[in-house]
Amino acid sequence: MKIVVIGGGFAGLQLVQRLANKSNVEVWLLDKHNYHQFQPLFYQVATAGLDASNISFPFRKALQSHNNVFFRVALVKKIEVATRQVITDNGTYNYDMLVIATGADTNFFGNEQLQAAALPMKSTNEALQLRHKLIAHWEAALTVKENAAALAPYLNIVVVGGGPTGVELSGTLAEQRLGALAKDYPELPLHQMKIYLLEGSNRLLGGMSEVSSNRAKRYLEKLGVTVLNNTLVTDFDGTTVRLQNGNAIESKLVIWAAGIKGNIPAGIHRDVVARGNRIKVDRQHKVLGTENIYALGDVAYMETPLYPNGHPQVANVAISQAKNLANNIEYLIASKNDKIIDFEYEDKGSMATVGRHLAVVDVPKPKLHIGGWLAWFIWMGLHLVLILGVKNRIQVFINWVYKYFTYDQSLRLWFKDYNAKSTA
């Protein structure tokens, strides 16, 4: 059986690795990048705490010892369901079984002005661009430092979206203001700098318990972040953030972490597209109305008794789904159809970090809400274990230890390309 997997994120890579060296199956992994991205640490790349290579892992290295797995760097353009083909910018691939694991992208909810002016962080490249923008921002602020009115919008940074990404970013920026930034830019009045975290619902970390939401808010406020719940952004033109309640915030830098939408390749019927641009699948990950097309991870929408509105779009769900599908494929190939089992997600807990010694962890069984330094160490330990590659783990660990003792992020580099159309 020839299986084509589109996307080597948490779901796709897990599936491919589980099918590696199995008999009677040939696996083709297609990804638009040649590396796997560890998204949970994007915010540390953006805030100069980690190098992009520390959280990226080349697919070819990950797949070296798998003799039935083939990889191509290919941007998938379209799926031809009738002829069982995947059309890419790097050729056409036939399949017997297709697995779509293309993840999700930033959702600006159709607001083009917002999309043009606000900064997303949904890929390694975007995290690096954000780092460049942050450095460019402070360098530009220096040019207007004598003019209080012109400087004011530079001193406000707005993070939109109070999920883990927004919480982690605003916490780190607040710590930088008191540490590395103050040392790098002594000419700027950084004591006047304000970091806003805007959340549309009535609490931060909507996927976690109320105890953890409240703790995270308290931690952020302790670091000096202005947290505004029930606050919806309607527009941003590069200088002014407009809010639905009629208020406005003058700011030159807005980071958008307020929504995602599934990356569905062309060729998938609109009838099977659910809320959030996710593909509706049955309990065995099969796209509704198809015979041999499956979807996993952020792009998939599955209703189960425990999750009637679909699963949370997190790494653990993607990995668990891939494990389940890999087992089912093995049973299918071995004609042991009676062993194929429906998927159900067992929540092992969730966590978010805010800053030094400040994190929140929810454990469902036994029901625990952990905060403070213990949660922070748990968060660090788990993320270290999950990063792909021993070298990456060591480098991340060294970076964290260095930052812990020096209060410094060492990677404040702005790679300017003077030949490119846009340099910042």
Ligand X SMILES: Cc1cc2nc3c(=O)[nH]c(=O)nc-3n(C[C@H](O)[C@H](O)[C@H](O)COP(=O)(O)OP(=O)(O)OC[C@H]3O[C@@H](n4cnc5c(N)ncnc54)[C@H](O)[C@@H]3O)c2cc1C
Quick check: 162 binds ligand X (CB under 6 A)?
no
313 binds ligand X (CB under 6 A): yes
Peptide bond into 364 cis (omega under 30): no
Alpha-carbon distance of 121 to 42, in angstroms, equals 7
Which among 9, 71, 25 has a CA at the least distance from the CA of 262?
Answer: 9
Residue whose CB is less far from ligand X, 7 or 153: 7
Q: Which stretch binds ligand X (CB under 6 A): 34-42, 181-189, 225-233, 334-342?
A: 34-42
- The smaller minimum CB distance to ligand X, of residues 37 and 156, is found at 37
Which residues in the 251-280 window bind ligand X by CB under 6 A?
Answer: 263, 265
According to CB under 6 A, which one of 86, 101, 254, 287 is a site residue for ligand X? 101
Beta carbon of residue 306, minimum distance to ligand X (angstroms, whole number): 17
- Complex with ligand X: residue 93 or 154, whichever CB lies closer: 93
Mark 213-252 with x for binding to ligand X (rule: CB under 6 A) and - for no binding: ----------------------------------------
Q: Which is nearer to ligand X, 156 or 165 (CB)?
A: 165
What would you report as the CA-atom Rg of the chain, rounded to the nearest whole angstrom?
22
In the list 3, 10, 114, 208, the residue contacting ligand X (rule: CB under 6 A) is 10
Which of 164, 166, 171, 371 lies at the binding interface for ligand X (CB under 6 A)?
Answer: 164
**Contacting residue, 199, 298, 347, 362, with ligand X by CB under 6 A:** 298
Please report whether residue 205 would count as binding ligand X according to CB under 6 A: no
> Rounded CA gap, 295 and 22, in Å?
21
Q: Is 6 in the site for ligand X (CB under 6 A)?
A: yes
How far, in Å, CA of 168 to CA of 197, rounded?
10
Site for ligand X in 133-152 (CB under 6 A): none
* Nearer CB in complex with ligand X: 14/290: 14
Q: Based on CB atoms, which residue is closest to ligand X, 135 or 257? A: 257
Q: Is 75 in the site for ligand X (CB under 6 A)?
A: yes
Pairwise CA distance, residues 167 & 160, whole Å: 10
Q: If binding means CB under 6 A, how many residues of this protein chain bind ligand X?
A: 34
Residues constituting the chain = 424
Give bridge partners of residue 287 from the DSSP assignment.
Answer: 281
Closest separation between CB of residue 227 and ligand X, Å? 19
Provide, rounded to whole angstroms, the least separation between the CB of residue 314 and ligand X. 3
C-alpha–C-alpha distance, residues 325 and 167, integer Å = 33
Only segment of 129-137, 141-149, 185-193, 308-316 that touches ligand X (CB under 6 A): 308-316
Cβ contact 306:344 at 8 Å: yes
b/e map 327-354, b = 16+ CB within 10 Å: ebbbebbeeeeeeeeebebebeebbbbb
Would you tell me which residues interact with ligand X (CB under 6 A)? 6-12, 30-33, 37, 39-40, 42, 75-76, 101-103, 121-122, 164-165, 263, 265, 297-299, 313-316, 318
